[in-house]
Amino acid sequence: MITKPILSSKTTIARTIAWLNLHGLPVLPVAPLQDSEQFPLIRNGKADHSKPAFTGKNPSYLDANGKPHLLPHRQYQTQLPKQSEIDRWFRNSSNGIMTMGGWGGIYWIDIDVKRYSSRQYCDRAVLNWLDRYPILNQTLIEKTHSGGWRFAVKCPIDPGFTNFRFHHGPKHVGELLGFGRLTVLAPTIGPSGNPYESIQRVEPILIESFGAIGIQTTQKPKVVRQFDKGNYSIASNGVPHLTQVVCCSVQRILSGVNVYGDRSYCLLVAALELYGWVNWTQRMGFSIAGDPDSLLLETAQRMEVESDRIQRILKGQHLDSCVPAIYQAAGQEATLGRWGRSNLFTA
C-alpha cells in the first residue's frame, strides 16, 4: 500500500524530462503563477486584472531574463516538441513541467482535493479506492500541489467522458485527462507554493476499461429514444461511415497517428473497434458504409506496416463477436446515444 511520497527530494526537472522522452510523451513548460495586475488575462482584446494570464497551470515559460511567455500548444497534440524548443523553455530553472494526455494511450486520473471536505477525507477515499483495486498500487502516482492525487494508466478504450465519480461513491471527484488535456508533473511548484510530489514514477499499468477500476461518468443516464426503423429514416447526407462513429483514439489511428507507441497494437485496437461497429449495426438493423479490411489496409500503409502483418496481428481474434468501445464501456443506451448524436438520422 502506498502511504507516503518518495523520490520527491530527488525528482528534478531533468529526470522528469528524461522520463517523458523515454515514454514518447510531449515535454511542455509551465511558468509560475504571475501577478494578475502585471500580467492580466486578455479577453476579447481587453485586460481582466482580476485573473492572471499565467496561472501556474497553463503552458507557458519564463525566458532566461525572467519574462513570461504563453505557449500555444495545440500542435503538440500530434507532434512532439523539438529538443531545441525544450532547451529554450527550461533555461530558467523556475519553470515547471507538464505533459499532455492521450499520447501512448495514457490517461491521467486527477482526483481533486477540493471535492472533499478536507485533505484527510480525500486521502481516505483514495486509499479505499486502492484497497478495492490494488493493481493501481503498481502504476505511476503523484500528489498535486494542493493535496490531490494523480494516477497514470494506459487504456485502449476512449471513456467518452471527463468528469468522473467512483462506483462506490455518489459525487464528482475528479477528471480523466485524455487527448488534448494537460497535466502538471513533479517537481513543479504549484500556485499554492507547494510542489507536486512523485509517489512512484513507474510504467503506467494497462487497464481493460475505466469501469474495471471503479470509475464512471458523473453524467446522469439519459433516456434514449429507441430507434424504430418504421419511424426513422436515413438523413439526406446518406448512410453513415465507419470513420464517423468510431472512438476518438481510433479516428486518430486511422489517420496514421501511432497513438499507443506500438503500430501493431494500434492496428489491433482499430480492428476491434471497426468490426465492433459493424457487428452492432447489423444486430440493430442499421446500415453503415465502409469496409474494415480496406480501412485497415489504408491505415497500415499510413503507418508503413506491411499488409500481410495485419493477418498475423488479427490471428486468434474473435472479430465476429467484438463490440464498439463505447458499448463495452457504457452499454447499449450510450451506444445508441453516440449513434443518434452524430445527426445521421432524423425522425
Please give the Cα distance from 304 to 302 (Å, whole number). Answer: 5
- Contact partners, residue 30, CB within 8 Å, separation at least 6: 56, 57, 58, 59, 60, 61, 95, 96, 97, 98, 184, 188
Q: Cell 511567455 sits at which residue?
A: 69
Please give the Cα distance from 62 to 60 (Å, whole number). Answer: 7
Q: For the chain, first and last CA: distance in Å?
A: 54
Q: Which sign does the torsion angle of CA 56, 58, 63, 68 carry?
A: negative
| Whether residue 187 has a cis bond before it, omega within 30° of 0 | yes
**pLDDT digits 0-9 by tens, 215-263:** 988 876 544 344 333 333 333 345 778 888 898 889 889 999 888 778 8
- Going by DSSP bridges, is the β-strand pair 149-154/205-206 parallel, antiparallel, or unpaired? parallel
Contact 248, 274 (CB under 8 A): no
Contact 142, 186 (CB under 8 A): yes
- Specify the higher pLDDT residue, 204 or 240: 204
DSSP-derived letter for residue 15 is: H
- Would you say residue 70 has pLDDT above 90? yes
* 263-284 and 292-302 helices, crossing angle to 10°: 160
Contact 139, 153 (CB under 8 A): yes
Confidence class for position 190, pLDDT limits 50, 70, 90 = very high
Report residue 128 CA to chain centroid gap: 24
Q: What is the pLDDT of residue 226?
A: 41
Of the given ranges (41-55, 246-260, 293-307, 331-345), which has the lowest mean pLDDT? 331-345
**Percent of the chain at pLDDT above 70?**
89
- Going by DSSP bridges, is the β-strand pair 182-185/106-111 parallel, antiparallel, or unpaired? unpaired
- Specify the higher pLDDT residue, 214 or 77: 214
- Would you say residue 210 has pLDDT above 50? yes
Q: What is the pLDDT of residue 231?
A: 34
Contact 339, 330 (CB under 8 A): no
DSSP-derived letter for residue 94 is: T
Contact 105, 169 (CB under 8 A): no
DSSP codes joined into one string, 141-204? EEE-TTS-EEEEEE-SS--S-SEEEETT-SS--EEEE-BT-EEEETT-B-TTSPBPEEEE--PP
**pLDDT digits 0-9 by tens, 19-49:** 999 988 999 999 999 999 999 988 888 888 8
